[in-house]
Amino acid sequence: MRSYGQYCGLARSLEVVGDRWNLLIVRELLISPARYRDLIDGLPGIATNMLADRLRDLEAAGVVERRLADEGNAVEYALTPWGAELRGPIESLLRWSTPLMVRGPEGDAFRPEWLALAVPALLDTRVEVRPSATVGLDIGGPRWQLHATQSGFEVGPHDGRALDATVRAEPPCILGLAAGALTLGDARAFGLVEIDGDESVVRAVFAA
């Protein structure tokens, strides 16, 4: 990206992560470190040369680091500590996007891993969580889980533990999460998301 030439933190941030695809690459790496092929799969539409270019840029800027995995046989990309701090700006944009998500998918691609960022961003962690609870998310494909405790939330692939409740939904529905459309099926034991009228305020209410 061409420099803005402004001594302003926003302008300098955008010179690092403002280029097309950059923040989406960071999104993928926030979900988990990944191989080149994983990134191609998680970024539908990206050209292979673009991904290579952007990974070089982000590595040079100190956002991404390239590591050797699989006993030196494979390259793996991961965020540096500073790169991982982009979770804040990204969660903030995820909250801001609610009015854009209520339109529904409209044919756009959807990957359940993206929930691993979106759900914690939309949940209001200031709401008191009394006991811990784990909810399974069946969205087609492998089951995911949301584990909530007093100290926060974790979203990831289901690790086989016992579940306090289960949510089943088709992709157009599960991301209705952001729109409050996810009524949570049989979740008598666990209220997940609530939207306050038109204001798109999202709150977590746990009663497990």
29 vs 87: CA distance, rounded Å = 10
Residues 6+ apart with CB under 8 A from 61: 16
Query: Which region among 11-19, 125-133, 157-165, 182-190 touches a second copy (by CB under 8 A)?
Result: 11-19
Write the CA distances from 197 to 71, 130, 154, integer angstroms: 53, 25, 27
Query: Closest separation between CB of residue 34 and DNA, Å?
Result: 9
Cβ proximity of 123 and 146 under 8 Å: no
Read off the amino acid at residue 125: T
Nearer to a second copy, 60 or 68 (CB): 60
Positive or negative: CA dihedral 9, 15, 20, 26: negative
Assess 65 for contact with DNA (CB under 7 A): no
Q: Does 162 bind a second copy (CB under 8 A)?
A: no
When asked if residue 197 is in the footprint of a second copy (CB under 8 A), the reply is no
Binding site for a second copy (CB under 8 A): 1, 3-16, 18, 20, 23-24, 27, 44-45, 62, 82, 85-86, 88-101, 104-111, 114, 117-118, 121, 171, 175, 178
Binding site for DNA (CB under 7 A): 1-2, 19-21, 35-37, 45-50, 52-53, 55-56, 66, 74-75
